[in-house]
Amino acid sequence: MTFYTPVPVPAHLPSKLTISLWDFSWYVRTGSGEPFEDLDRAFAEAVERGYNTIRICAMPFLLFGSGLDTSAISLDRLGGGYAQRVRWYDVTSPTTFDGRDQLVALFEAAKRHDVYVILSSWEYQQSSSFSTDRSWFDALMAVDPGDRAERLADAMADLVDFLAERDLDDRIAFTELHNEVQWTHLTEGLWSDGVTMDDVIVALEPRLERGLLRFHERHPARPCTVNYSRVPFGAMRGIPNSIDVLVTHPYIYGVLDEVTEAFNLRGAVADFDKAAADAAGLLLPDAPEPTDWTVPPGSEWKLEATIVGKPEIYMHDWIDIEAFDRYLYERYGNHHIEMVRILSTWIDVAADHAAARGIPCVFGEGWVGYTPRESNFEEGPIGAEFCRLAVSESRRIDAWGTIVCSNAAPHHTMWSDVALQQQCNALFVSP
């Protein structure tokens, strides 16, 4: 391994980052009545809850790498009722805005409220699926897979220059080339029969390394990284040498894995076991056949633009939410000990790897997992205690940054639990 000296954390940044995950919702959900229609209100509420940092998709490729006109970006739901009961997809009002003006507005509001921003991108995962036309998605996919990380790096570097010209770059905590790189279109061409996720992480490393080096050439004094879903404990060797922050997302799942496996939520939509879900009393009585539930004609490209599987969207859209949460509570006891063990182990693995590299450790997403929009499992007594445990574990290993939960953001119902967020954030920053 070539010796690399990490970029140090800039001195003006907080000693601890209390992070709220605003993802792509901060621009997708800006329409009338949406949670980010008023950015100042969203920031004020974040500060009230103890947050000093937000983590966003800054749409770098669209704004600075696509060559598209971004003066009137038009976004809406995926189509009809499809994915409307899926967390992060429940857009209720269309929106149109100037992309660069929206970015400036966010950073100006962050400055007014003394909040920092982690720059990332979800563009090779799902951001473009909200567009009312496919030009953003087509521009992303037109880039050769081997060059995508470098194109993102150039776009991010241009975005940083754009903010610096407006004296807003002091709000940047650090930059991620992309979110959860192993679950993206960045891996195109690396999958084949018999190839495992660990194999893909290792094979992806040269592409990411080129991107990181490109960004560092442009901005040698700014920390840059990529991040990983879960903690890739079987492929830590595949994490690029040139990262300046180790960012992982410890989604434990556990009891949610039982749901996924029982109904084949990560397979083909035709293989979704509707009979089993009906027998378990989980679906609404009028649930259609899984193969009949899709986006309206002409929007089929959106199914490729998002990585969320069709069976999972179908189940979330047609779930009886009370039955679903009851299903989790009835089965959680079988998974509790293992989930707690995995959480502590993954956090220790991440901390050890960061220490070996001499870089800070951040948990940018995580804890239990991806529940339907209306589920309150992570806000309920078990999920809330898991949040407290995870934040305590983050504090134990002296992480630089952590979250209360991925669902603790203005576009989720957990946002209303002010006390839990204040408690967890105070715990994390306490001496």
Residue 419 lies in a domain: yes
Cα–Cα distance between 228 and 330 in angstroms, integer? 31
Please tell me whether residue 89 adopts helix, strand or coil conformation.
coil
Confirm if 132 and 75 have CB atoms less than 8 A apart: yes
Tally of domains within the chain: 1
Q: Which two tokens stand for residue 116?
A: 């920092």
Residue 4 lies in a domain: no
Residue 5 lies in a domain: no
Residue 124 lies in a domain: yes
Residue 1 lies in a domain: no
Cα–Cα distance between 134 and 300 in angstroms, integer? 10
Cα–Cα distance between 303 and 324 in angstroms, integer? 25
Tens of pLDDT along the chain (431 residues)? Answer: 567 999 999 999 999 999 999 999 999 999 999 999 999 999 999 999 999 999 999 999 999 999 999 999 999 999 999 999 999 999 999 999 999 999 999 999 999 999 999 999 999 999 999 999 999 999 999 999 999 999 999 999 999 999 999 999 999 999 999 999 999 999 999 999 999 999 999 999 999 999 999 999 999 999 999 999 999 999 999 999 999 999 999 999 999 999 999 999 988 999 999 999 999 999 999 999 999 999 999 999 999 999 999 999 999 999 999 999 999 999 999 999 999 999 999 999 999 999 999 999 999 999 999 999 999 999 999 999 999 999 999 999 999 999 999 999 999 999 999 999 999 999 999 99
Rg (CA), the chain: 20
Confirm if 293 and 271 have CB atoms less than 8 A apart: no
Confirm if 362 and 402 have CB atoms less than 8 A apart: yes
Torsion of CA 49, 52, 56, 62, to 10 degrees: 130
Q: What is the pLDDT of residues 21-57, one digit of tens each?
A: 999 999 999 999 999 999 999 999 999 999 999 999 9
pLDDT at 1: 53
CATH code of residue 395: 3.20.20.80
pLDDT at 3: 79
Helices of type H across 2-54: 25-28, 39-48
Residue 11 lies in a domain: no
Full domain range(s) for residue 321: 17-429
Residue 12 lies in a domain: no
Q: Which two tokens stand for residue 195?
A: 């190839």
Please tell me whether residue 229 adopts helix, strand or coil conformation.
strand
Q: What is the pLDDT of residues 406-425, one digit of tens each?
A: 999 999 999 999 999 999 99
Residue 3 lies in a domain: no
Q: Report the DSSP pairing between strands 53-57 and 116-120.
A: parallel
Backbone conformation region of residue 230, classed left if phi is above 0, alpha if psi is from -120 to 50, else beta: left
